[in-house]
Chain A
Amino acid sequence: MNENLQRIRNIGISAHIDSGKTTLTERILFYAQKIHAIHDVKGKDGVGATMDHMELERERGITITSASTYVEWKDKHLNVIDTPGHVDFTIEVERALRVLDGAILVLCSVAGVQSQSITVDRQMRRYNVPRIAFVNKCDRTGANPKRVTAALRDKLSHNAVLMQLPIGLEADFEGVIDLIEMKALYFRGDNGETVEEGPVPDHLMDEAEAVRAEMIDAVSMFSDELLEAALEDAATPEMIHEAVRNGVLSLELTPVFIGSAYKNKGVQPLLDAVNAYLPSPIDVPIEALDLDNDNAKVELTSDPEGQTVAYAFKLEDGRYGQLTFVRVYEGSLSKGDTVYRASSGKKVKIGRLVRIHANSMEDITKAEAGDIVGLFGIDCHSGETFIGDGPRLAMTSMHVPDAVISLSVNPVDSKAQANMSKALQRFTKEDPTFRVRLDPESGETVISGMGELHLDVYVERMKREYSAEVETGQPQVAYREAISRRGEFDYTHKKQTGGSGQYGRVIGYLEPLDEGDYDFVNEVKGGNIPTEFVPACDKGFRMAMEKGRMIGFPVVGVRAVLQDGNSHAVDSSDMAFLVAARSAFRQAYERAKPRILEPVMKVEVEGPSEFQGAIYRTLMQRRGNVLGSTEESGFARVEAEVPLAEMFGYSTDLRSETQGKAEFTMEFSKYGPAPAEVTEELRKKYSGQVAEEDD
């Protein structure tokens, strides 16, 4: 079993947008002879990169879904997940990281550690993913892999160590020096497919020896054998490889490789490094939760003969129905097997099992622990765990951020209506950050997600993949309401309409809650409110919080304390106390000085230094709070917090203010209080809507 598993590398390729990771993946496929021609990302040849298989991705030159593929490189089997770089799609990155054993962090040799590199790195840390770094684009003007390695240390606190040196840089970039073997590597042939070895060029020998000594010094921390050998100047390549692997597996070392995927240089040594240093499934501890034992952690063994545990991390809709990407953690999955959903215990039969290669696939009969494969004919949500006979084990659930933006979508005709429903059903299964609800007042369908581009892509996909023509409304920001001080309530609900009446009195207060959305505290003594009616009071408060009185958005951060009350032997009921609590909440709410909270985004803008002033201006104009700025070799990076409501159309403005030379990323940061004028405007708008509905 071990031999097979030791051959497997489940790896991801993560980076800041436009660092060239899709190009790198394309080269990996080519050198591993999985494809026989190389295509550009932006499809100049009309074909587009193999991994960007969705039409939309090819047009925009970005990777939206993490396509999966596998290659054989030398004696190892590599399952490669290509992950998107745009922050709007980080759920894809997070899902991929959840199932990966290791990753390549791709960095641009000019721009270095960029905002998204930091986000991606944070995510990798969260899932304890060992990584190696690839400094790409060494052929570009301004390329400086040493600076990027220093930035990995300074900005990301990596113990980053150069394993190679460039032979020439920018337009003169010819190849790399392997500092372990102390030999030069050149990439010959039309597509760099022939790796030619040579001596280290004389003019680089001194530098290579110095950097090699630094490298050995750094990696010897991970091997006593190397440490001793290095003292006697007797370090062998095998000892260095072992020490680097130890360092990578312990997450304490990031070896740095260099090249230019676009110019076909440096990719094969990177693949050798994947084989040598990144872990196999048995090198990393994997834990599941025992659902029947209070979610106790259970370490999985990666034994193909063990209980089957497989995790569905991605869904796609294709010609043959739902394609479910799974990672098998323990046991095996065979065609015709019956497994169970860990969440419900429901039986599932494995119909068709495939290995995925971007948009093509190959049927297989069995997948074992460590494999990443596709299943057809299974209806499930992303995040489901499939298990064989035995304890009810589930892989730990993933961190799923709240949606921050909504958009109403209206089908143009009844055909579009049916198609839209189908599409939305699919998207919500695929993407846990994409949500759909029906607005009970307007009757409109409202979609919510992580940013403008996120929703934009789904609207496009509805049109293209499902022929669902829809009209969209104005994007709606997900505001919240909150109280800012304590507010007392003393409310009696009394109704006598013949027969048994309704009676319930509740006394207490609301106060702001530092952490969490809601807390209910029962301090009633002496049975003034009989115990059986207390849950109804809790429910009444919760119901009142669903729609705030200021602008109709949910209320958050409230502790409701029930101190006293009264009941009636005949007329009190759950309903009476529920209504009393709901009305009491409204009474106290006004006294608790409610305010509106708006989602605030952390925005990072990067551009040439001469546009720093323009960048500041664009942020200030949008109520941005500029936190700081960083200068780096002709580039400036400005960090700010900006209300989401002000970010619509920002990319257009930024482009026009900076001649298209600046770019930005944003992610949700926090909910912050809306200023008075915004509050006033929102209240007015809401009053207008309510009046209109009343008419």
Chain B
Amino acid sequence: MSEVMLNLRRSPRKLLERDGHPGPGAGHLAVIMARAGVGKSAFLVDVGLDALLAGQKVLHISLDNTIDRVRAYYDDILGQMLREEKKLDLWSPIQLDVERRRHIHTYAGHTFTPDRLREGVQLLKDVMQFEPAVILVDEFGEEHLDAETVGAIKAIAKEAGAELWLACQVYREGPQAEDGHLPPPVDQFEEDVDLAFRLVSQDSKVRLHILKDREKMLDEDLHILFDPQSMLVTAGSL
């Protein structure tokens, strides 16, 4: 079964490994940026599923959605992967396996703070022996997008030995990226960003650009295309 699961992996994370841009690695931060509605949340779920199918544990943090909604996201994308591979008969065992290695943590009513996150991560470790290899943080509001908060979250990921992925919205209106910098609001904490990607909607496909790779600022189309409906990497990108 684990071989079937590995073969299902179709996320940008796997492709990035192939193209010489490995994931951020433990204690490092990757940021995925896009305008509203382009598919940041689905991208994070892709990354989470990729890690889960590779046998890793994932902590998915959402400040905007309910647990049921995040679960439904995973189920939809996993179902799509299995359908395309004609492996829907394996739905139950794979879904169960995925759920056992994933924990969804949501914060309702603006209750998120880095301290609460640190306590939550510690509790998962102490009580449930749950030590994530990947931490995903979806939809940070503007109030959290400052160097201090992001730095604190990165420190938590480092203490936990996990890689950190953060989704951030960028805007069509307002100030745009200055030369040699990441677009606002990510520019506020760009020192802490190890990898930065941007999803760009173009010709009814969503394309992945890399904007920062460790110390290097870039703007390269990685030629990784996503189906805008399922946000799965299209066959041509594989």
> By the criterion CB–CB under 8 Å, are B127 and A672 in contact?
no
| B152 interface hit (Cβ, 8 Å) | no
Partner of A616, one of B96, B106, B127: B127
Binds A, one of B97-105, B141-149, B164-172, B219-227: B97-105
> By the criterion CB–CB under 8 Å, are B67 and A639 in contact?
yes
| B123 interface hit (Cβ, 8 Å) | yes
Which residues of chain A come closer than 8 Å to B99, judged between CB atoms? 625, 627, 641
> By the criterion CB–CB under 8 Å, are B120 and A672 in contact?
no
Count the B residues whose beta carbon is within 8 Å of the partner chain — how many? 30
| B203 interface hit (Cβ, 8 Å) | no
Binds A, one of B37-45, B108-116, B191-199: B108-116
> By the criterion CB–CB under 8 Å, are A628 and B108 in contact?
no
Given contacts A147-B109, A154-B108, A620-B128, are A612 and B103 in contact (CB under 8 A)? no
Partner of B67, one of A514, A617, A628, A672: A628
> By the criterion CB–CB under 8 Å, are B103 and A626 in contact?
yes
> By the criterion CB–CB under 8 Å, are A616 and B123 in contact?
yes
Q: Which residue of B lies closest to A113 (CB)?
A: B108
> By the criterion CB–CB under 8 Å, are B127 and A617 in contact?
yes
Q: What 0/1 readout, one digit per residue, does chain B (78-113) give for beta carbons within 8 Å of chain A?
A: 000000000011001100100110011111110110
| A56 interface hit (Cβ, 8 Å) | no
Which residues of chain B come closer than 8 Å to A154, judged between CB atoms? 64, 66, 108
Which residues of chain B come closer than 8 Å to A673, judged between CB atoms? 92-93, 96
Q: Which of A587-616 contact B (CB under 8 A)?
A: 612-613, 616
Given contacts A612-B123, A613-B123, A673-B92, are A628 and B111 in contact (CB under 8 A)? no
Which residues of chain A come closer than 8 Å to B70, judged between CB atoms? 628
A617 to B120, CA, bound (A): 14
| A633 interface hit (Cβ, 8 Å) | yes
B103 shortest CB reach to chain A, Å: 6
> By the criterion CB–CB under 8 Å, are A628 and B123 in contact?
no
Which residues of chain B come closer than 8 Å to A633, judged between CB atoms? 109, 111
- Kindly name the residue among A118, A613, A620, A673 whose own CB sees the greatest number of chain B CB atoms within 10 A: A613
| B126 interface hit (Cβ, 8 Å) | yes
| B35 interface hit (Cβ, 8 Å) | no
Q: Which residue of A lies closest to B59 (CB)?
A: A628
- Kindly name the residue among A112, A620, A630, A673 whose own CB sees the greatest number of chain B CB atoms within 10 A: A630
- Kindly name the residue among B60, B93, B123 whose own CB sees the greatest number of chain A CB atoms within 10 A: B123
Q: Which residue of A lies closest to B64 (CB)?
A: A154
A112 to B100, CA, bound (A): 29
> By the criterion CB–CB under 8 Å, are B108 and A631 in contact?
yes
> By the criterion CB–CB under 8 Å, are B103 and A628 in contact?
yes
A499 shortest CB reach to chain B, Å: 48
> By the criterion CB–CB under 8 Å, are B109 and A629 in contact?
no
Which residues of chain B come closer than 8 Å to A112, judged between CB atoms? 108-109
B138 shortest CB reach to chain A, Å: 13
A294 to B66, CA, bound (A): 41
Which residues of chain B come closer than 8 Å to A151, judged between CB atoms? 108-109
B24 shortest CB reach to chain A, Å: 24
A628 to B61, CA, bound (A): 10
> By the criterion CB–CB under 8 Å, are B66 and A630 in contact?
yes
| B71 interface hit (Cβ, 8 Å) | yes
| A632 interface hit (Cβ, 8 Å) | yes
B82 shortest CB reach to chain A, Å: 12
Which residues of chain B come closer than 8 Å to A630, judged between CB atoms? 66-67, 105-108
A627 shortest CB reach to chain B, Å: 6
Given contacts A514-B88, A613-B123, A616-B123, are A628 and B109 in contact (CB under 8 A)? no
A512 to B89, CA, bound (A): 9
B46 shortest CB reach to chain A, Å: 19
Q: Which residue of A lies closest to B116 (CB)?
A: A631
Which residues of chain A come closer than 8 Å to B66, judged between CB atoms? 154-155, 630
| A150 interface hit (Cβ, 8 Å) | yes
Which residues of chain B come closer than 8 Å to A612, judged between CB atoms? 123
Which residues of chain A come closer than 8 Å to B116, judged between CB atoms? 631
> By the criterion CB–CB under 8 Å, are B109 and A150 in contact?
yes
> By the criterion CB–CB under 8 Å, are A628 and B104 in contact?
yes
A633 to B120, CA, bound (A): 14
Which residues of chain A come closer than 8 Å to B105, judged between CB atoms? 628-631
Partner of A632, one of B93, B111, B123: B111
Which residues of chain B come closer than 8 Å to A155, judged between CB atoms? 66, 108
Q: What 0/1 readout, one digit per residue, does chain A (149-173) give for beta carbons within 8 Å of chain B?
A: 0110011000000000000000000
Q: A617-B127, A632-B111 are in contact. List 15 more A-B contacts (CB 8 A).
A: A118-B68, A154-B64, A616-B123, A616-B127, A628-B67, A628-B105, A629-B104, A629-B105, A630-B67, A630-B106, A631-B108, A632-B108, A672-B96, A673-B93, A673-B96
Q: List 29 A-B pairs, Cβ < 8 Å.
A: A112-B108, A147-B109, A150-B109, A151-B108, A155-B66, A512-B89, A616-B123, A616-B124, A616-B127, A625-B99, A626-B103, A627-B67, A627-B99, A628-B60, A628-B67, A629-B103, A629-B104, A629-B120, A630-B66, A630-B107, A631-B105, A631-B111, A632-B107, A632-B108, A632-B109, A632-B111, A672-B92, A672-B96, A673-B93
Q: Which 5 A-B pairs have the closest CB atoms?
A: A628-B104, A628-B67, A632-B108, A630-B106, A616-B127
